[in-house]
Amino acid sequence: MTTPRWLSDDELTAWLRLRAVTMLLPAAIDGQLKRDSGLTEFEYYVLAMLSDASDRRLTLSDLASRTNSSLSRLSHVVRRLGEAGWVTKATCPDDGRSTFAVLTDAGMALVESAAPGHVEEVRRRVFDTLSDAEREGLSVALERILSTLDPAHHLTRDID
């Protein structure tokens, strides 16, 4: 390694801000969901993905790639969601290795009750603070950053 190219003042400022947002924003979003619905952000998105899927079901592998989770993590979480009555499992007729996670009616009701508060929190924390031009500037820059972090756009294709 040659002598490192340290960050310029402007870069350092941007980096500290980016770092602060990546720490504080997920905590704020998670906190609202926990307080108002007893769900972690991850659990909420698992249920939300299922609520939007056809027949309210997805294989664990599909869910894992949509939520950027390991299969192991998802397996543990789906078991807990199952114990709570929000998700059940079903065999996949096309492939004996796959297992569907299926959203129950109770799970659907939970997502639907949690969604408005979640969206409000996203608005409050992000979009209420930004002008249209600022939002566009943010969006463009994030897209650039994602070009190396998620080149296949796995995490930005799906609905909320």
Partner DNA sequence: AATCATTAGTTGAACCTTCAACTGACATCA
Partner DNA sequence: TGATGTCAGTTGAAGGTTCAACTAATGATT
What is the binding site for its own copies (CB under 8 A)? 1, 3-7, 10-26, 28, 68, 115-117, 119-120, 122-127, 129-130, 132, 134-150, 155-156, 158-160
Give 9 or 83: the residue with its C-beta nearer to DNA: 83
Contact criterion met (CB below 8 Å) for 99 and 89: yes
Closest distance to its own copies from the beta carbon of 28 (Å): 6
- Please tell me whether residue 125 binds DNA under the rule CB under 7 A: no
**Is the separation of the CB atoms in 68 and 61 below 8 Å?**
no
E strand or H helix that includes residue 13: helix 9-37
Least gap, CB of 26 to its own copies (angstroms): 5
| Binding segment (CB under 7 A) for DNA, from list 10-18, 67-75, 128-136, 150-158 | 67-75
Q: Which C-beta is closer to DNA: that of 140 or that of 152?
A: 152
| CA–CA gap between residue 122 and residue 125 (Å, rounded) | 5
| Cα distance between residue 29 and residue 48, in whole Å | 15
Instruction: Report, in Å, the least distance between residue 31 CB and DNA.
Output: 8
Looking at residue 156, the DSSP 8-state letter turns out to be: S
Q: Pick the closest to residue 56 from 114, 1, 111 (CA basis).
A: 111
Q: How far apart are CA 114 and CA 93, in angstroms?
A: 32
Out of DNA, its own copies, none, what residue 35 binds, judged by CB under 5 to 8 A for its kind, is none
Binding site for DNA (CB under 7 A): 40, 42, 59-61, 64, 69-80, 89, 92, 95-100
